[in-house]
Chains A and B, each alone.
Chain A
């Protein structure tokens, strides 16, 4: 554990708490892509299935339980409790175009042709693109509530910090994980536009609005 990874994981935790706060406080999930949240639940389930047979640490286990639990809870909130505020009309990204390539890629590009390694690779590839429905929705709406942009910033920062963590681990331990690295690089890259607007608008006290 190094400072980059710890901060990254804490940012990830923070992003989920911000999202829960947004939903509970506004009693609405407007502006949040249900498809992205569903994909995250799938990412966590397929990746953390090793919870039952691969022990790393108490920290690791508790975080895995939290990420699986909270992602399912968010899916429940959006699909059941606050269903009326969910806006499927704007949530039009075709996730089959994401799921199918990720499944195919996981079958060809994995560390071993075992169920666990294929599921793990799938979860890593899927996580890289899971934010796309959300960014697509943001693009269609043209604006976002400030709290939603804080959620996205925390989520993007978590990914960015993982890159620093990998640079540090490569230097300190000779740690190498090409699948996670390439997917992580792609994932962080998807946030570049968002980061730019967040920096130039939200952090200067303005509303998050995309140029027409």
Chain B
């Protein structure tokens, strides 16, 4: 699944 923004934070 692709996300729009990079979600590398918690």
Structural contact, A5 and B9, CB atoms closer than 8 A: yes
Q: Mark B1-10, 1 if CB is under 8 A from A, else 0.
A: 1011101111
Give min CB distance, A109 to chain B, whole Å.
13
Give min CB distance, B7 to chain A, whole Å.
7
Give min CB distance, A177 to chain B, whole Å.
6
Q: Could you say which of A111, A116, A177 contacts B1, with CB atoms under 8 Å apart?
A: A116
Chain B residues contacting A83 (CB-CB under 8 Å) are: none
How many Å lie between the Cα of A56 and that of B8 in the bound state?
6
Q: Could you say which of A53, A54, A63, A177 contacts B10, with CB atoms under 8 Å apart?
A: A63
How many Å lie between the Cα of A50 and that of B2 in the bound state?
10
Q: Which chain A residues (12-64) contact chain B, with CB distance < 8 Å?
A: 12, 50, 53-54, 56-57, 60, 63-64
Structural contact, A60 and B8, CB atoms closer than 8 A: yes
Structural contact, B5 and A111, CB atoms closer than 8 A: yes
Chain B residues contacting A50 (CB-CB under 8 Å) are: 1, 3, 7
Q: Which residue of A lies closest to B10 (CB)?
A: A63
Structural contact, A54 and B7, CB atoms closer than 8 A: yes
How many Å lie between the Cα of A50 and that of B6 in the bound state?
12
Please report B residues at the A interface, Cβ cutoff 8 Å.
1, 3-5, 7-10
Please report A residues at the B interface, Cβ cutoff 8 Å.
5, 9, 12, 50, 53-54, 56-57, 60, 63-64, 67, 111-112, 116-117, 120, 162, 165, 177, 180
